[in-house]
Amino acid sequence: MKTLFIFFLLLTPMFLINVQAQEPSCCNENAITKFSGFSNDKNFVALHVEPGNFVLQGGSGNMIIYNTPDGKTANGYEVKAETPTNKYLFLFHEWYGLNDYIKNECEYWSKELGVNTIGIDLYDGKVATTNEEATQYIQQMDVTRGENIIAGARNYADANTDNTAILATLGWCFGGGWSCQASILLEDKSKACVMYYGMPEENKDRLAKLTAPVLGIFASKDAKINAEVVKNFEDNMKSLGKSLITKTYEAEHGFANPSGQRYNSEATADAKKLTSEFLMTNFK
């Protein structure tokens, strides 16, 4: 019995070392997966006011289908610029999916900037109308599939511009995080990245691949994408010599969505002005 006890005693440190070696560090956690985990927090879910009955009126865009590198197809809402251009702005939806609110943003930014816009559908056709559906879709979201959808959109833009497409990214909430990820994936094809209260990438090895300047729009009353998260992002970008501008508004998470009760018109107007100036300066 004594021999057996000593054997297990000797074995215990080896077991602990093995467990510690397999335990992932926080900095290696994918930013999209981390944000998706917030959907388990009832308080965070409660911050999202379910979309109303907003319907896009008189939109000039069309739904498109394009091929993705994983052998599948993806959907998007494309608005073409009034004057032909090789510039494409990729817009990334909130956790509700590619609904009419996001399509309306595609219409707005196409006209504001004079560029083509594509609302990227990360949910492959699913659109949530309730927070319950949204949490289900965000938890089912496969990161690799999302990357393939973005790669397919890049290829689509190139195919329509004789491989001369100039890209930029813009997203809100869940899509804000994806805007950052997309610009990392697109590398020097992306000339600008705008993220509204989305989870920034925390892995510095991935951030090192980011060449586009970033505009981060945040909310002071955001419990998850809070001041600590923003400061960490600023420090990481500075240490890597990356270009980052941040603006934090005295507002709630999701303040720029007019269909929500937390909509802040003053903050939204200022953020849109800042976004427009940033994109016009860098989207070249």
Structure tokens, 214: 């970033």
pLDDT of residue 49: 74
Task: Give the residue from 199, 179, 169 showing the smallest Cα distance to 44.
Answer: 199
Q: Which two tokens stand for residue 216?
A: 């981060």
DSSP label at residue 40: G
Q: Would you say 81 and 115 are in contact if contact means Cβ atoms under 8 Å apart?
A: yes
Tens digits of pLDDT across the chain (284 residues): 444 444 444 444 433 333 333 333 344 567 888 888 888 888 777 777 787 778 898 899 999 999 999 999 999 999 999 999 999 999 999 999 999 999 999 999 999 999 999 999 999 999 999 999 999 999 999 999 999 999 999 999 999 999 999 999 999 999 999 999 999 999 999 999 999 999 999 999 999 999 999 999 999 999 999 999 999 999 999 999 999 999 999 999 999 988 767 899 999 999 999 999 999 999 98
Domain boundaries, the chain: 30-282
Inter-helix orientation angle 100-113/265-282, to 10°: 50
Q: Which residues pair with 169 in a beta bridge?
A: 90, 193
- CATH number corresponding to 30-282: 3.40.50.1820
Six-digit token string for 70: 């994983």
Give the pLDDT of residue 7.
40
Determine the Cα–Cα distance for residues 107 and 109; give it in Å rounded to an integer: 6
Residue 277, pLDDT score: 98
Residue count (the chain):
284
Phi and psi at 216, nearest 5°, equal -110, 120
